[in-house]
Structure 1
Amino acid sequence: MSRQFKFLMALAGLLSTGAALAAGADMGQIAQQETNWTAITMFGIFVAGTLYITKWAAAKTKSAADFYTGGGGITGFQNGLAIAGDYMSAASFLGISAAVMASGYDGLIYSIGFLVGWPVITFLMAERLRNLGKFTFADVAGYRFQQGPIRAFAASGTLVVVAFYLIAQMVGAGQLIKLLFGLEYWMAVVIVGALMMVYVLFGGMTATTWVQIIKACLLLSGVTFMAFMVMSQFGFSPEALFAKGVAVKAAIAEGSGKTPEEAAAIGLKLMGPGGFIKDPISAISFGMALMFGTAGLPHILMRFFTVPDAKEARKSVFWATTWIGYFYILIFIIGFGAITLVLTNPEYADTVKGVIKGGAGTSNMAAVLVAKAVGGNVFYGFISAVAFATILAVVAGLTLSGASAVSHDIYATLIKKGKADSASELKVSRATTLALGVLAVTLGIAFEKQNIAFMVSLAFAIAASANFPVLFMSVLWKDCTTKGAVAGGFLGLISSVALTVVSPSVWEATLGNPKGSAWFPYTSPALFSMAIAFVTIWLVSIMDRSAQAAKERAAFDAQQVRSETGLGADGASGH
């Protein structure tokens, strides 16, 4: 393994060096960019540092338990920071700040939706997950059920969620690096894919966790400094910051031909809800997808198996909620900072139209340009490198959850009937990581021109419609049976994908069909697909009178004792 590891370390080093050289060569082609050697140097330092961590983690990764869960030896505080790192993705850092810049108060709908999912995890899931599970959420959902059907469903749900999330991150990475470093799009995607495979292949959960922790610390430090510098320009008065934001939006509206009264109304809209999602059903459905999707994301659920016991699992959620809440408050300030400092600066934006220069996709650069406005070129380089690190770390976590679904749920449990040895399971996991890496790179390149926003919301809607109902009902409802869980889970999975495809965001905006032709009129399918999943689980379960169903109901009391006390869960091992 040592020789293979050295080869991949060298490969990753060449790729990161190639990024720097290509950036220098290609910068001239992008009119609005100058060669930013600070960003390239910091990116190189981050890659070198995280590869060293991967080398250290590789020495500790000897078994499947080490690979999937870091041997269960990660503390609650470390795991909370790593979960926050998983959560503070490019979509949160770049996407929400851009949404606040465009819509003001309404841009917070994502962060509020993401954040309110945490109490569900804290009070319903975290402790039970740790006490019942071993490596994947299927261990928990299928604790008293027939292993074959439930594992097949859980692996399907995990892989679909991971695929959509992964494509969105890869496309985001490609566009970001293309803008920042001047690389060809496909080269940026290949570099992300190669580095991600190195982290996961050799370091497993230990390396992925430490990459997340370092990235979370860097990102939290960066946004704290940015928010502090933005507020310092307004005497640390939020009221003065918001008033200036409203005035800037009103001035832009007046410049585009609106009357002073209309312009003032447009400016004030910045501080009120209702512009982002128009009808109540869409608002409820979208909110449900973000809230319950959080409690069904496989790469987040997997993190609860990395801590030694249920107490540390609860601590993880407490720290994760603290850091994520703090981060989202700062993102709101940075979004308004983008209105006041970026949209008014002719160097960065078309001040008449109120848009960032550079065409489609550049609105996502709002946070990075705020960094340049408040901290100059060095801080701009730092935030650019952190934004790239953010994507890299999230992609590694996603890949690990996809690999564990195939190797643990399908190979070890379904194919080998639980008799697979640790070494062969590890081989399958690493082969899956390679396959997922190649697939992510290929799809990332293929989807370059696609609208990626619907993929992220689809990942949350699928997690809320498929994974969450099965997890919830299997752990908390005595009468839930294998047939009910599998039927409801698959119907939730299929209906959430199908309804999203025929919604306006995909049917009209992405597939190019005429306006008004979408079969499903709402923004998100979660309200409907979650209802389908829950009703199906309930209906099929109560109609199931088989001997197997009676056995599963009888096993509920033992499951409940184990889930609430941890009796029988010996450390990091499963049942």
Structure 2
Amino acid sequence: MNIDFAHIGTVLADTVAVVENNPILNISIFIAFVCVTMFIVVRASKNNKSAADYYAGGRSFSGTQNGFAISGDYLSAASFLGIVGAIAINGYDGFLYSIGFLVAWLVALLLVAELMRNTGKFTMADVLSFRLKQRPVRMAAATTTLAVCFFYLLAQMAGAGGLVSLLLGINDKVGQSLVVAVVGVLMIVYVLIGGMKGTTWVQIIKAWLLIGAAFAMTLWVLALNGFDFSQVLQHAMDASEKGAAVLAPGLQYGGKEIDFLSLGMALVLGTAGLPHVLMRFYTVPTAKEARKSVVWSIWLIGAFYIFTLVLGYGAAALVGPEVIQNAPGKVNSAAPLLALQLGGPVLLGFVSAIAFATILAVVAGLAITAAASFAHDIYGSVIKKGKTDPETEVKVGKVTVVVLGVIAIAGGIGVQGQNIAFLVALAFAVAASANLPTILYSLYWKKFTTRGAVWSMYGGLASSLLLIFFSPVVSGTPTSLFGEGVNFAWFPLQNPGIVSIPLGFFLGWLGSVTAREKEDPVLAAEMEVRSLTGHGAEAAVEH
């Protein structure tokens, strides 16, 4: 079937008008999603009777269910809107994000996921402090966890406001701020009522919707081109003023190879240190189910990123790069505009609702992780020195959710209209620089010490924060947080990963080899057995 491209240039005004002026359908579909998921969350909350129920869903989810939930937690709005837009505009270089995120997921699964699930109880700090001194390690791990969750959460909240101009046609600051507040309030309600069980079901439903919609749109694009992907590529080349360059590397990162390498290191290695992703493995009852969830998540996430390749080039072919860049939301508008081109306002409405559902599911996962980290690690283990009961920890966790939600709403409103790329970069850079070295050393190096863990986590956190603050992302360029009028940038790269990640590993090694006190070899042996076999994984981590 041949595509008529002659009218593409004339539909720009109509297309933008439809996107801006048809919010009722979009809102209606989103409200339907909220109502259905809220009903499920309330039903799930009736079985929340213990800390294990609230933080780990009672370890009652099957491998298949957890595989979908992991997919729902991992595939953020950036994966759907951002990557499709990047491919539509920059072709091959945009698809590198898909490759990077998929490789990152495989690194997380192969190196840390099952071992951490077998060793821990509720949080990442359970693993890192297992054979080390509890209080300093838990405090450091909780600090880095809260930092990652907060900046990731802030980026998602701000992203929700930014999408409003495209999806709901609300362009004023007050309207966008209201949407940020609504997302924050819904997040608080989901987590307060449902805990990990409710959050998991929200993520499962969202995964079905997101992957299902991407699959349907992929088939639709291929059907319009006689199921010949080469025709999609040819039409994308014809529609772009860059021609065949969209099929070759270099459009986005030509001459910026070191910058791309630094970003790639942060993405690939940072995923294995994202606490809210790793926490999902505590929701299954056995190591066998954990492995099953790994298989499901690999297939689902891998398939989704293949879909983004078709959708990105499909958007370039059917909508056109110029239309995308001139629409509200710019690059992020590619997937919604493709939906509009394929199925009109109804399909656009579904895609709009799914985009918001995606943000909602991710922020709920971040909130439950931050709540568990503060209540279990800081309050229970550091402040109360382990002398508290699980019910009190859960109450503290719920208070943490409310406080975090209010702060996230205020922060999300505060950064509206600003460059929020530094928030996402900061989350991944902190995870890769502060969390991953300590995780790998704890799991694989018997001579790792408390000093090494503390130096690595605080050093990785401080270096990534410092380098981001003095990078072009914050000042010195037109797209910087403070604009080009203010310039205190001396670090040349957009992401600090290429410096801060090796530094985190180095500090972990240096702290361990210079430590006078060596750790208990019996605990090290016990941790090795537990991580490899899963024996005692459900037992409390106390020593």
- TM-score, normalised to structure 2's length? 0.92
2:281 is matched with: 304
- Tell me if structure 2 keeps the 8 A contact 1:481–1:552: no
1:507 is matched with: 475
1:333 lines up with 2:344 in the alignment: no
2:335 is matched with: 367
Shift of 1:30: 7.7
Shift of 1:539: 1.1
User: Structure 1: how far apart are the matches of 2:320 and 2:83?
Assistant: 16
1:179 is matched with: 166
Residue by residue, what CA displacement relative to the aligned partner does 1:323-375 show, whole Å, maximum 9, x if unpaired?
A: 1111111111111111111128xxxx64xxx63333xx333121011111111
- Tell me if structure 2 keeps the 8 A contact 1:78–1:213: yes
Shift of 1:523: 2.6
User: Structure 2: how far apart are the matches of 1:109 and 1:394?
Assistant: 22
2:493 is matched with: 522
For the residue of structure 2 that corresponds to 1:506, the secondary structure is coil
- Give the partner amino acid of 1:355: Q
User: Structure 1: how far apart are the matches of 2:403 and 2:474?
Assistant: 27
- Tell me if structure 1 keeps the 8 A contact 2:67–2:294: yes
- Tell me if structure 1 keeps the 8 A contact 2:145–2:373: yes
- Tell me if structure 2 keeps the 8 A contact 1:127–1:311: no
User: Structure 2: how far apart are the matches of 1:166 and 1:205?
Assistant: 17
- Give the partner amino acid of 2:327: K
1:219 is matched with: 210
Shift of 1:80: 1.0
User: Structure 1: how far apart are the matches of 2:366 and 2:214?
Assistant: 24
Shift of 1:545: 2.0
1:44 lines up with 2:31 in the alignment: yes
User: Structure 2: how far apart are the matches of 1:515 and 1:413?
Assistant: 43
- Give the partner amino acid of 1:382: F
1:4 is matched with: none
2:248 is matched with: 272
- Give the partner amino acid of 2:94: G
- Tell me if structure 2 keeps the 8 A contact 1:481–1:553: no
Structure 2 vs 1, CA of residues 30 and 573 (structure 1 numbering), >3 Å: closer, same or farther?
Answer: farther
1:231 lines up with 2:222 in the alignment: yes
Name the stretch that deviates more: 114-123 or 297-306: 114-123
Give structure 1 stretches of 5+ with no counterpart: 1-28, 251-265
1:417 is matched with: 385
1:294 lines up with 2:277 in the alignment: no
User: Structure 2: how far apart are the matches of 1:176 and 1:107?
Assistant: 20
Residue by residue, what CA displacement relative to the aligned partner does 1:513-552 show, whole Å, maximum 9, x if unpaired?
A: 4699631112321121111111111111011122xx2x33
1:357 lines up with 2:327 in the alignment: yes
| Residue in structure 1 matching 2:299, options 319, 322, 331 | 322
1:489 lines up with 2:457 in the alignment: yes
2:423 is matched with: 455
- Give the partner amino acid of 1:130: R
| Residue in structure 1 matching 2:532, options 556, 559, 564 | 564
- Tell me if structure 1 keeps the 8 A contact 2:23–2:169: no
2:53 is matched with: 66
User: Structure 1: how far apart are the matches of 2:30 and 2:400?
Assistant: 27
1:103 is matched with: 90
For the residue of structure 1 that corresponds to 2:21, the secondary structure is coil
Residue by residue, what CA displacement relative to the aligned partner does 1:198-226 show, whole Å, maximum 9, x if unpaired?
A: 10001000000000000100111111111
User: Structure 2: how far apart are the matches of 1:492 and 1:141?
Assistant: 15
1:386 lines up with 2:354 in the alignment: yes
Give structure 2 stretches of 5+ with no counterpart: 1-15
- Tell me if structure 1 keeps the 8 A contact 2:530–2:536: yes
Structure 2 vs 1, CA of residues 62 and 554 (structure 1 numbering), >3 Å: closer, same or farther?
Answer: closer
- Give the partner amino acid of 1:305: Y
User: Structure 1: how far apart are the matches of 2:529 and 2:117?
Assistant: 13
- Tell me if structure 2 keeps the 8 A contact 1:412–1:425: yes
- Give the partner amino acid of 2:465: V
User: Structure 1: how far apart are the matches of 2:112 and 2:176?
Assistant: 40
- Give the partner amino acid of 1:38: L
2:436 is matched with: 468
User: Structure 1: how far apart are the matches of 2:219 and 2:462?
Assistant: 46
- Tell me if structure 2 keeps the 8 A contact 1:104–1:270: yes
User: Structure 2: how far apart are the matches of 1:401 and 1:36?
Assistant: 33
Residue by residue, what CA displacement relative to the aligned partner does 1:130-151 show, whole Å, maximum 9, x if unpaired?
A: 2110000100111101111111
Name the stretch that deviates more: 427-436 or 57-66: 57-66
| Residue in structure 2 matching 1:545, options 516, 523, 539 | 516
2:7 is matched with: none
1:200 lines up with 2:191 in the alignment: yes
For the residue of structure 1 that corresponds to 2:240, the secondary structure is helix
User: Structure 2: how far apart are the matches of 1:241 and 1:279?
Assistant: 28
1:253 is matched with: none
User: Structure 2: how far apart are the matches of 1:51 and 1:515?
Assistant: 45
- Tell me if structure 2 keeps the 8 A contact 1:343–1:356: no
User: Structure 1: how far apart are the matches of 2:449 and 2:239?
Assistant: 58
- Tell me if structure 2 keeps the 8 A contact 1:308–1:572: no
User: Structure 1: how far apart are the matches of 2:488 and 2:232?
Assistant: 42
User: Structure 2: how far apart are the matches of 1:91 and 1:472?
Assistant: 27
1:93 lines up with 2:76 in the alignment: no
- Percent sequence identity is 48
1:144 lines up with 2:168 in the alignment: no
- Give the partner amino acid of 1:526: G
User: Structure 2: how far apart are the matches of 1:315 and 1:426?
Assistant: 29
Name the stretch that deviates more: 232-241 or 395-404: 232-241
- Tell me if structure 2 keeps the 8 A contact 1:212–1:393: yes
For the residue of structure 2 that corresponds to 1:275, the secondary structure is coil
Residue by residue, what CA displacement relative to the aligned partner does 1:434-465 show, whole Å, maximum 9, x if unpaired?
A: 00110110001000021112211221111000
For the residue of structure 2 that corresponds to 1:507, the secondary structure is coil
User: Structure 2: how far apart are the matches of 1:355 and 1:282?
Assistant: 24
Shift of 1:182: 3.5
What's the RMSD between the two structures over aligned residues? Answer: 1.9
For the residue of structure 2 that corresponds to 1:236, the secondary structure is coil
Name the stretch that deviates more: 506-515 or 44-53: 506-515
User: Structure 2: how far apart are the matches of 1:488 and 1:173?
Assistant: 33
For the residue of structure 2 that corresponds to 1:201, the secondary structure is helix
User: Structure 2: how far apart are the matches of 1:497 and 1:68?
Assistant: 29
For the residue of structure 2 that corresponds to 1:270, the secondary structure is helix
Structure 2 vs 1, CA of residues 48 and 522 (structure 1 numbering), >3 Å: closer, same or farther?
Answer: same
- Tell me if structure 1 keeps the 8 A contact 2:95–2:309: yes
1:122 lines up with 2:90 in the alignment: no
- Give the partner amino acid of 1:231: L
User: Structure 2: how far apart are the matches of 1:292 and 1:553?
Assistant: 28
User: Structure 2: how far apart are the matches of 1:177 and 1:65?
Assistant: 37
- TM-score, normalised to structure 1's length? 0.87
User: Structure 2: how far apart are the matches of 1:443 and 1:81?
Assistant: 30
- Give the partner amino acid of 2:276: H
- Tell me if structure 2 keeps the 8 A contact 1:305–1:572: no
- Give the partner amino acid of 2:513: I
- Give the partner amino acid of 1:202: I
Shift of 1:39: 1.9
- Tell me if structure 2 keeps the 8 A contact 1:166–1:395: yes
User: Structure 1: how far apart are the matches of 2:429 and 2:382?
Assistant: 27
User: Structure 2: how far apart are the matches of 1:191 and 1:472?
Assistant: 38
Shift of 1:35: 2.9
- Give the partner amino acid of 1:465: S
User: Structure 2: how far apart are the matches of 1:32 and 1:323?
Assistant: 30
